[in-house]
Structure 1
Amino acid sequence: MGKVIVIDDNVVYCDYVGNLLAKEGIAIEKIYSFAAAKKALSAVRSDEIVLSDFRFPDGDGIELLRLMCETGHRNPFFIMTDYDEVPTAVRSMKSGADDYISKRKLEDELLPVIRNLLKRKSLANTNGENIFQRESEAFQFIDRRIRLVASTNISVLILGENGTGKEHIAEKIHRLSDRANKPFVAVDCGLLSASLAASTLFGHEKGAFTGATDNKAGYFRESDGGTLFLDEVGNLPMEVQQMLLRAIQSKTYRSVGGSQDKVADIRIIAATNEDLKKAVEEKRFRQDLYYRIQEFVIELPPLRKCREDILPLAKFFIDKMNTELNKSVSGLDEEATERLQLYNWPGNVRELRQTIQTAVLMTGNGMITTETLGLPEEVVYANSDFSLIDDEIQKERIIKALKQADGNKRQAARLLGISPPTLYKKLEQYNIQ
């Protein structure tokens, strides 16, 4: 995925904006002059986003935008403005700018805009091809539920810890639905401030509030005909929850400051790592909205409960990172493999991906070792998915653990949460070779 190019001749402010994005893990490039920006934008890559100040001593943002368009580039282009420049910035949108962002509200407005644009561009570029198909029993069950609900318009609530892949599940539901050729719009509700949430979701009319100098479409309009994914939905302000409930119930919505309802042909998929029932009890989440969004529930287990997925996922990420980082890592050595399988992954698949990314970068070529893997040595707790709880399923669990450990009995015993001598007794008892 490309970077965000920040252009401002105020070096301090340019650094501030760039650092704000960089802290969120977004790749950036900072340009401090109009002349340098003209040169850079004439050769801008198609996957890059431009965030430019409006006024320069020797030109303006409109000229930069026109230069980019003249060279055949149609990159997302955003104007940063001071309050008294808003009317001029609005006029710049007629030249092709995607939007303007007030410098006074930059911390509230910038990250939601950039993050959601990056998500949509990433989805468009991959078309879902790089989403790994997990083969564990738990995810085979989840896959069946996905296929069952995908062809309907039922609202879906996806539950799971941070990093379990809730957005990937939402994307898969969308791709398997009749709306697959329509937009999939992902919104991180945790990034929406209380003052901007309603406008961001439903849009606003000119004059609706101070600074609203033009009409602006929201994510509901953008996802028309497709799917709107509301990640961390529990963070929505109560007044916006009411608006969302009405939109789901009536299939219509009204923009902020608007006087007419607009049709909302949208499929809602929501996700959270929060206990929404508790939020309802504490009056932080509307009960009627809770029942509306959880017509069908998909609950994702943590990675530590699906240990048979760890190695296949790791191998998938190694191949992916080799391509992205131009490395040639061939795999994991035996000790690194064991460490990978026995770690409890509090950050789930997201943590596994980041761990493999760092390991591939540090290794460069050859095999990943425990040193480059960088994980602490720890044992799997006895209450893991492999633990021997029920006599009737012990044999099945032992076979599963042995397969996961590639026949290594010591490692299988650790996965099962038992001692090697106990495992040997069980192997003899069940005549497992």
Structure 2
Amino acid sequence: MKHILLIEDDLTYSRIVKTFLEKNGYSVETCTKVKDAQQILSSKSFDLIIADFRLPDGTGMELLQWSKSKFPQTQVILITHYSDIRIAIKAMKLGAFEYITKPINPDELLATVKESLSAKSTPVEPTPISSPQPKSKDTKIAKGSYVIGSSNEAEKLEKHIQLVAPTDLSVLVLGETGTGKEFVSRRIHDLSTRKNGPFVAIDCGALPKELAGSELFGHVKGAFTGALEHKTGHFESANGGTIFLDEIGNLSYEVQIQLLRAIQERRIRKIGGNKEIQIDVRIIAATNDNLIANSGDGQFREDLYHRLNEFTLQAIPLRRRKEDMEDFTGQFLEESNERLNKSVKTLSPEVWDIFLAYDWPGNLRELRNIIKRAVLLTNGDQVEKDALPEGLYEPNSMSSASFSNSSISQPGELPSPKDYKTQWIEQEKELIQKVLNDTKFNKSKTARILKMDRKTLYSKMEKYGLD
């Protein structure tokens, strides 16, 4: 019997989840705080941790980082509200297996638990090196969820990946949000001579500014307040393999200097340390920002840009590769069926028409999420229109509903302060969404157009669920 530790401070919710999992054959122990969970984990062995993100004495993120340092083999699932999803995605990059959102769907919870426990003992097979044959169905979909595709642009991208992969050149992957820049980077690693080494993916936008240097390069005990033990940084962990630096433009100027030195000298020095450590790491960076423009504004070092940009790849937005829609849809249907224990085989002709007409501002990430949702809502073997979000085929439905559902004042009456606030929130959300779409989700450009800093933009995107 598998043992699960559930950390949830809502006692009613905790009791419901515990009862459900126990009925499905799992042993479940519960607690309500990070500190209590740490004490329990230090005295007993668990196969899986399920933690709410918001806890009375801390966050699920803190527990995740602690548990991964102490018990790296124990899987962690994070429970979030919809407004926490951006944070949850960052947690996954720190080692969480998956996140699930409240209100919890029982089928999704059970599927995620089963998947996490089976993944624990399932080795990841490296992708074999082979020449691309895009017209063969077997080679359109590479292992590790990388879809090659069969459009001309997809063929060109795969050719360039296979060209640069065996080299040790630093690669800069450009592309809009959701275009699969990390999958492109993993594909390079899997086709390289470093494929048996680690692939360490870092979301630079998720690194706290004051701790970014420590996360990347490590620190020694006592280097700063709270440094209670030695820490191995991501560069040292990636030694002999590849480090992927996503959203590289988010690094502070000071950390950029440290990164430039590490690239030039192939050595790092831990924060507070005086010993240099030799590293053998290939660097792949990704961004949806214009780093050259940012260097002109003093936000990004031009010399670092040229060090990172020994070879450039452009991840293709989905609206420019509609020919590959069948390949992507087939892959995502297969993933969703396996995860949700379903057997959906295809999309109805009406759904295909909607997919091909839609602009996909969220690209592959948006397509994957919509298909996962549709599979969950489909009872037969074919996805129908009613399993899709209305915004997919009625772009103005959300804003129309907002106005129709808002309180309408009678002539001569002023709306209540609550109505004013609701309308303001709706209009701000629509404006941010429009600018994000117009800039192809370039967050630096969006922030400049809206005259707000990136931190404020990220906060509002999280608040309105626009990631």
TM-score class, shorter-chain normalisation, is: 0.5 to 0.7
Unaligned runs of 5+ in 1: 16-28, 84-88, 100-106, 379-433
Matches within 5 A, 1:258-273: 258-273=273-288
Instruction: State the partner residue of 1:61.
Output: 38
The reply on whether 1:363 has 2:378 as its aligned counterpart is yes
* Distance (whole Å) between structure 2 residues aligned to residue 111 and residue 338 of structure 1: 31
202, 205, 208: which one aligns with 1:193: 208
Instruction: State the partner residue of 1:411.
Output: none
SS in structure 2 opposite 1:262?
strand
SS in structure 2 opposite 1:268?
strand
* Distance (whole Å) between structure 1 residues aligned to residue 124 and residue 379 of structure 2: 25
Matches within 5 A, 1:311-326: 311-326=326-341
Instruction: State the partner residue of 2:455.
Output: none
2:200–2:244 contact (8 Å) kept in structure 1: yes
Unaligned runs of 5+ in 2: 74-83, 99-115, 126-142, 396-467
| Residues 140 and 114 of structure 1: CA distance in aligned 2, closer, same or farther (over 3 Å) | closer
Q: How many residues align?
A: 327
1:174–1:184 contact (8 Å) kept in structure 2: yes
2:146–2:184 contact (8 Å) kept in structure 1: no
393, 396, 409: which one aligns with 1:376: 393
Instruction: State the partner residue of 1:115.
Output: 93
Matches within 5 A, 1:198-347: 198-347=213-362
Give the root-mean-square deviation of aligned CA atoms. Answer: 3.9
Given residue 184 of structure 2, which amino acid in structure 1 is its aligned partner?
I
Deviates more, 1:143-152 or 1:328-337: 328-337
Which string of whole-angstrom CA distances, capped at 9 and with x for unpartnered residues, describes residues 77-128 of structure 1? 9xx9989xxxxx9xx99x94569xxxxxxx9x99856532137998986544
Given residue 231 of structure 2, which amino acid in structure 1 is its aligned partner?
K
| Residues 112 and 337 of structure 1: CA distance in aligned 2, closer, same or farther (over 3 Å) | closer
Instruction: State the partner residue of 1:140.
Output: 155
Q: Give 1:364 shift.
A: 2.2
1:150–1:174 contact (8 Å) kept in structure 2: yes
1:4–1:51 contact (8 Å) kept in structure 2: no
Which string of whole-angstrom CA distances, capped at 9 and with x for unpartnered residues, describes residues 204-255 of structure 1? 1011000111111111111111000000000001100000000000000111
Q: Give 1:377 shift.
A: 5.4
Matches within 5 A, 1:77-92: none
* Distance (whole Å) between structure 2 residues aligned to residue 320 and residue 217 of structure 1: 34
Q: Give 1:326 shift.
A: 1.4
1:76–1:97 contact (8 Å) kept in structure 2: no
Instruction: State the partner residue of 1:409.
Output: none
Which string of whole-angstrom CA distances, capped at 9 and with x for unpartnered residues, describes residues 374-408 of structure 1? 32158xxxxxxxxxxxxxxxxxxxxxxxxxxxxxx
| Residues 4 and 113 of structure 1: CA distance in aligned 2, closer, same or farther (over 3 Å) | farther
* Distance (whole Å) between structure 2 residues aligned to residue 4 and residue 289 of structure 1: 45
* Distance (whole Å) between structure 1 residues aligned to residue 308 and residue 228 of structure 2: 34
Given residue 318 of structure 2, which amino acid in structure 1 is its aligned partner?
L
Q: Give 1:366 shift.
A: 2.7
* Distance (whole Å) between structure 2 residues aligned to residue 316 and residue 261 of structure 1: 45
- TM-score, L = length of structure 1: 0.66
| Residues 246 and 30 of structure 1: CA distance in aligned 2, closer, same or farther (over 3 Å) | farther
Q: Give 1:370 shift.
A: 2.1
* Distance (whole Å) between structure 1 residues aligned to residue 88 and residue 319 of structure 2: 35
* Distance (whole Å) between structure 1 residues aligned to residue 371 and residue 158 of structure 2: 25
1:189–1:236 contact (8 Å) kept in structure 2: yes
SS in structure 2 opposite 1:298?
strand
1:65–1:97 contact (8 Å) kept in structure 2: no
* Distance (whole Å) between structure 1 residues aligned to residue 167 and residue 222 of structure 2: 39
SS in structure 1 opposite 2:209?
coil
1:138–1:306 contact (8 Å) kept in structure 2: yes
* Distance (whole Å) between structure 1 residues aligned to residue 320 and residue 27 of structure 2: 44
* Distance (whole Å) between structure 2 residues aligned to residue 81 and residue 351 of structure 1: 33
The reply on whether 1:183 has 2:188 as its aligned counterpart is no
Q: Give 1:363 shift.
A: 1.5
Q: Give 1:66 shift.
A: 3.6
Which string of whole-angstrom CA distances, capped at 9 and with x for unpartnered residues, describes residues 326-356 of structure 1? 1222211112111111111111111111111
The reply on whether 1:173 has 2:191 as its aligned counterpart is no
1:5–1:51 contact (8 Å) kept in structure 2: no
| Residues 314 and 112 of structure 1: CA distance in aligned 2, closer, same or farther (over 3 Å) | closer
| Residues 126 and 97 of structure 1: CA distance in aligned 2, closer, same or farther (over 3 Å) | closer
- TM-score, L = length of structure 2: 0.62
Given residue 34 of structure 2, which amino acid in structure 1 is its aligned partner?
D
Instruction: State the partner residue of 1:24.
Output: none
* Distance (whole Å) between structure 2 residues aligned to residue 176 and residue 51 of structure 1: 45
* Distance (whole Å) between structure 2 residues aligned to residue 224 and residue 119 of structure 1: 23
* Distance (whole Å) between structure 2 residues aligned to residue 44 and residue 246 of structure 1: 50
